[in-house]
Structure 1
Amino acid sequence: MFRLDELVARLGGEVSGDPAVLVRRVATLDQAEEGDLAFLANRKYLSRLQGSGASAIIVAPDARALLNGRSGIVTHDPYLYFARVVQLFNPPPPPRAGIHLLAAVASPLPPSVEVGAGASIEEDVEIGEDVVVGPGCHIGRGARIGRGTRLAARVTIQHGCVLGEDCIIHSGVVVGSDGFGFAREKDGRWVKIPQVGRVVIGNEVEIGANTTIDRGALDDTSIGDGCKLDNQIQIAHNVRIGENTAIAGCVGIAGSTVIGARCMIGGQAGIIGHLSICDDVVVSAGTLVSKSITRPGVYTASLPLQPHAEWVRNFAHLRHLDALVGRVRALENQ
């Protein structure tokens, strides 16, 4: 448990009300009870503030008066502050140093590393201090994993790939599988192109469950420091992603695309190959990116939901749009 003044001493902000109020966890305004710290990050939830059972509430400076005598913490970004408090209340468990009897390890490891049951680590692997290798993981020959990185159960890091420090890799992730590279014979048969590059992942990267990142064909596929990738994302060979970019679930990125720093890609977006997206771009959910983006901003190319019959009628009009434009031009010329 923490007093409000202890939280402010650690994380900044300003106490409003009683600094000695004790809180034990963070909860939503609706679910908070005595001893909980709630947060108000969006004014559309103002109606829930007065009825909340929280002992204290995190608010922005312009919402201080809404506390109405209740204790709280005033900060310019309540949602970010909430995230910091949750981290403080829920630190990751320290590695349980040691190699499980059912693990197969062919490389020397620092004594602080935890290796779970059924994990396999091939030869010439370099692993830093305090790394966690979960049950059933596989780390291929020549791979490198930086200090403090945590692999959940059944993660696969293929040969030669590099993970930086303090990464979090969730279950089912595959890093370094072959990219989709083939040449075609005249008779239609496909000839596989060996994929000889690596995947290089920076520091403090988080990769969600069942995401796959293909190794480069010749050069490396690279993920910059601080990137956050959701579940079930496909990143193809030779893609390069800049630092602190966030990508939501079910996104597909085709080969040799370059994405800049601090971008945000919405869920189920698709990005075709050999494009370039500059820094500070937001791509809305469901958008198909079919050309390069050279200016920061928000980009959307998806239709809003509508009843099927209405969609059929509208699409029928779209099919004749070119002819309609020609008729309008003819009328204007007259």
Structure 2
Amino acid sequence: MASYTIQEINDVLKGELIGNTTQKIEGPEQLQSAECNHITFIGSSKYIKHWADSKACAAIINDNLIIEPDNTRALIKVKNADLAMAKILELFNPPAPVFDTDIHPTAVIHETSTIGKGCKIGANCYVGKDVELGDGVILYPNVCVFDETIIGNNTTIWSGTVIRERCIIGSHCIFHTNVSIGADGFGYRPSDDGRGLVKIPQIGNVIIGHYVEIGANSCVDRAKFSSTIVGDGCKIDNLVQIAHNSIMGRSCIMAGHSGLAGSVTLGDGVIIGGSASIKDHTTIHSGATVGAGSGVVGDVAAGKTVLGYPAQDARDMLKQWVVMRKLAKK
């Protein structure tokens, strides 16, 4: 198990070290759960009250907070405790599962596929016809990559993920367990006789940019025609649905249980809160935020925050909730 002195940790963070501890630090932990060999984090004044009772030997705190150290514990002041926490978690991050052999003998790899240098392909994987894997791609056991798909360098794909035919995946992406890329979009129309539904063929593909991370059990559907697109740097939580022909700009965030209907367009840096739903053919412009649980039925202007169902300007919606609460008390 890795362990570090407080000085070694501060060498990484380059913060202001106040006080000292001789205790070797063996990992990070929450304030109330920490033991004497842990470092903890305080990013808000509301958590200061828990420091006195915490057993942690050290804490990383925002530099605008005032906390007195004691004789045996240390504080490291930084500009942003959350970002500092990410660096500490990286220090203590355990190694990834080990591959005993780069390409497992049970993997099925089509003779026409191209496998880059340093790729690792786990047990029971399938790599189809004319697939191209860049250098350093990792496919954990039971991943399927179907025909004519291209995957960029250093992308990691966890078990159970299925990438359908003709998709294009960028470099340095991470797909967690059971992600679905390129399944058919949801397209049906009533039949002429009105007695059934006609399936609309979905002949497009999915294009995913670089440094995209997609959480477990999320789905990105292929386009009816052209492409469903996820831009560079997007981060998608677990259990998220991205429907056919949607286009996401760069560095968008979608929290768990949220979903885009067909042909939704997101600008750069859009944030979609958990369980929010976006109506088809809607545009949410760059820098906008959709609050958790909201239902967006119309376009959202750049930089605007919307909330509620149906979603509207967050300030207006909060005012309505205040009025309704007052009415309920009468």
Instruction: Return the alpha-carbon distance in structure 2 between the equivalents of residues 208 and 297 of structure 1.
Output: 26
Q: CA deviation at 1:172?
A: 1.3
- 1:148 lines up with 2:154 in the alignment: yes
Q: Report what 2:121 is aligned to.
A: 115
CA distance in 1, matches of 2:18, 2:176: 39
What secondary structure is seen at the aligned counterpart in 1 of 2:88? helix
Return the match for 1:158 from 164, 184, 206. Answer: 164
Q: Is the 8 A contact 1:125 1:141 kept in 2?
A: yes
Match of 2:46 among 36, 44, 47: 44
Show CA shifts across 1:106-133 (max 9, x none). 1232352221111110021111222211
* Matches of 1:78 and 1:171, distance apart in 2: 29
The Cα offsets for residues 3-27 of structure 1, whole Å up to 9 and x where unpaired, read as 3333333333222223876322111
Distance in 2 (CA, whole Å) between partners of 1:95 and 1:147 is 19
What pairs with 1:80-99 in structure 2 (closer than 5 Å)? 80-90=83-93, 92-93=95-96, 96=99, 98-99=102-103
Tell me what 2:314 maps to.
none
Question: Quick check: 1:126 aligned with 2:132?
Answer: yes
CA displacement at 1:91 relative to structure 2: 5.2
Please list every run of 5 or more consecutive structure 1 residues that lacks an aligned counterpart in the other structure: 304-313, 318-334
Greater share of residues in helix: 1
Distance 1:167 1:36, change over 3 A: same
| Equivalent residue, structure 1, for 2:287 | 280
Give, as a single letter, the amino acid of the residue that structure 1 aligns with 2:74.
S
In 2, Cα distance between equivalents of 1:66 and 1:175: 51
TM superposition shift of 1:246 = 1.2
Offset of 1:165 from its aligned partner?
Answer: 1.7
Structure 1 length-normalised TM: 0.85
**2:247 is the alignment partner of 1:240:** yes
1:79 to 2:82 alignment: yes
> How many Å separate the matches in 1 of 2:70 and 2:62?
14
Residue 100 of structure 1, CA deviation: 1.3
Within 5 Å, which residues of 2 pair with 1:205-216?
205-216=212-223
CA 1:68 to 1:278, structure 2 compared with 1: closer, same or farther past 3 Å? farther
Q: TM-score, normalised by structure 2?
A: 0.86
Mapped to 2, the partners of 1:64 and 1:129 lie a distance apart of: 48
Name the CA distance, whole Å, in 1 between partners of 2:187 and 2:218.
19
Aligned residue number for residue 58 of structure 1 = 60
d(CA) in 2 for partners of 1:45, 1:19: 21
Q: Paired residue for 2:14? A: 12
Change beyond 3 A, Cα 1:233–1:75: same
Alignment match of 1:190 (pick from 181, 187, 197)? 197
Q: Say whether the 8 Å CA contact 1:30–1:52 is kept in structure 2.
A: yes
Distance 1:162 1:11 in 2: 37
Match of 2:232 among 217, 225, 239: 225
From 26, 30, 39, the equivalent of 2:32 is 30
Determine whether 1:297 maps to 2:304: yes
Superposed displacement of residue 256, structure 1: 0.7
CA-to-aligned-CA distance 1:274-333 (integer Å, 9 cap, x gap): 111011111111111000001313211149xxxxxxxxxx8xx9xxxxxxxxxxxxxxxx
Give structure 2 stretches of 5+ with no counterpart. Answer: 311-323
**2: CA distance between counterparts of 1:66 and 1:276?**
49
Equivalent residues, number: 305
Tell me the amino acid that sits aligned with residue 78 of structure 2: T
CA distance in 1, matches of 2:177, 2:309: 31
Cα deviation, residue 170, structure 1: 1.3
Give the aligned CA root-mean-square deviation in angstroms.
2.1
Say whether residues 1:270 and 2:277 are aligned partners.
Answer: yes
Give the % identical residues: 34
